[in-house]
Amino acid sequence: MSMIVEKIPEKIRQYCKSIKKKDKSIGFVPTMGALHEGHLSLVKMSLAKCDETVVSIYVNPSQFGHGEDLNAYPRTLDNDLMLLEKMGISAVFVPGNEQMYKEDHMTSVEVSEITSVLCGKSRPVHFKGVTTVVMKLFNIINPDYAFFGEKDYQQAAVIKKMVQDLNIDVKIITGPIVRESDGLAMSSRNVKLNKKQRGQAPVLYKSLIEAEEMLMLGVSAVEVKQRIADKIKMQSEVLIDYLEIVDPVSLENKIDSKNGILVALAVFFGNTRLIDNILVNKIDNDRNQNEKAG
Ligand code: PAF
């Protein structure tokens, strides 16, 4: 059966309802397009788990703050559709702004607390835009499962909280970060790096690995942060937006090491802001117990 490409919310809703009527499960992969192996790995997870898979491609303006890269965000719709068709997915939802945000749109969904740290600190409107659009997409598609990448660790945590708090009938599944052979996390924004910046960007993953090693050896979070910040700053083109060592559940500095430890960072290479993280699962050394990371 050929892939359906639909921009009208009511039509894709009817299509999804028809799938449900046949007692089939729907897996949903929301994206902003410019698809790469990271997205495709989520699509594969959905195809393996669900009877039908629906992908959305929509560059959501409400999650970009003033002066951020909304207009420069890469858009590669024809190629995206070709990739998805090859994978055998059922339908792609490709709304425009006129379908998603009517002129008199007044409603938003906002998760508090965990949205005010990490990316939320430097991108204050971002998560409100994400939760609002994802809620709308969930209401239109009504999926059984929705798939999110772990590169956007905080985004996945915020969506899980929204689903829990608002009793939304969907299971959130996360997929591991997919990396280039030199360790750079795949991102639609990587194409915006110039040659020099692209050469420098793998320092992020190298630093995260070093941070993990140090934490496992019992080096304090304060010292780990200092050492990896110094390592990243050795590159000429960078500006660190944040570099944090936090509890993976609360996203706060007060670490309860039974949850593991999350090292998360956002770094500008020129105008391009890249994020990455590593979840350090098991800290053996008592020195890290309940440590307050500075
Ligand atoms: O992760 C993304 O691509 C976006 O934030 C999402 C979840 C599709 C919402 O616009």
- 230-252 pLDDT per residue, tens: 999 999 889 999 999 999 999 99
**Residue 112 maps to a domain:** yes
Residue/partner pairs of 207-214 with CB below 8 Å, 24 or more apart: 207/231, 207/232, 207/265, 208/263, 208/265, 208/276, 208/277, 208/278, 209/183, 209/278, 211/245, 211/263, 211/278, 211/280, 212/263, 212/278, 212/280
Q: Which ligand 1 atom is at minimum distance from the Cα of 30?
A: 8
On whether both 199 and 132 belong to a single domain, the answer is no
Per-chain mean pLDDT for the chain: 94
For residue 128, the cross-strand partners are none
User: What is the pairing mode between strands 91-93 and 52-57?
Assistant: parallel
| Co-location of 121 and 195 in the same domain | no
Helices and strands (H and E) in the chain: how many: 10, 9
- Least Cα distance to 291 among 240, 214, 215 occurs for 215
> What is the position in ligand 1's atom list of the atom closest to the CA of 56?
8
State in Å: Cα 46 to ligand 1 middle.
16
Question: Is the CB of 30 within 6 Å of ligand 1?
Answer: yes
Q: How far, in Å, is the centroid of ligand 1 from the Cα of 14?
A: 23
For 130-163, the pLDDT digits (tens) are: 999 999 999 999 999 999 999 999 999 999 999 9
The CATH number for 143's domain is 3.40.50.620
**One domain for residues 9 and 134:** yes
**Would the CB of 277 count as within 6 Å of ligand 1?**
no
- The rounded Å distance from CA 63 to ligand 1 centre is 9
Residue nearest to atom 9 of ligand 1 (CA): 130
Give the integer Cα–Cα distance in Å for 139 and 115: 22
- For residue 57, report the distance from its CA to the centre of ligand 1, in Å: 9
Claim to verify: residue 225 and residue 285 sit in the same structural domain: yes
Establish whether residue 134 lines the binding site of ligand 1, counting it when its CB lies within 6 angstroms of any ligand atom.
Answer: yes
Write the CB contacts of 190 (distance below 8 Å, at least 6 apart in sequence): 36, 180, 184, 198, 201, 274
- Which uninterrupted H or E stretch holds 196? helix 195-200
Q: What is the mean pLDDT of each run of 10 residues along the chain (294 residues)?
A: 94 98 98 98 98 98 96 97 96 98 97 98 97 98 98 98 98 98 98 97 98 96 97 94 96 86 97 97 51 42
Residue 31 Cα to ligand 1 midpoint, Å, equals 5
- Parent domain of 16: 4-175
Q: How many CA atoms lie within 13 A of 201 on its CB side?
A: 29
> Could you tell me if 18 and 144 lie in one domain?
yes
- Is 215 inside any structural domain? yes
Asked if residue 51 lies in contact with residue 18, where contact means CB atoms within 8 angstroms, the answer is: no
Domain count, the chain: 2
170/236 same-domain check: no
Question: Is 172 close to ligand 1, i.e. is its CB under 6 Å away?
Answer: no
Asked if 87 and 134 touch (Cβ cutoff 8 Å), the reply is no
133 within ligand 1 shell (Cβ under 6 A): yes
C-alpha 198/C-alpha 93 separation (Å) is: 32
Q: Is the minimum distance from the CB of 38 to ligand 1 under 6 angstroms?
A: no
Whole-structure pTM value: 0.95
Q: Give the pLDDT score at 282.
A: 59
Instruction: Note whether 283 and 261 are within 8 A (CB).
Output: yes
Say yes or no: CB of residue 132 within 6 Å of ligand 1.
Answer: no
The answer to whether 19 touches 52, Cβ cutoff 8 Å, is yes
Active-site residue numbers? 39
Residue nearest to atom 1 of ligand 1 (CA): 31
Q: What's 274's domain CATH number?
A: 3.30.1300.10
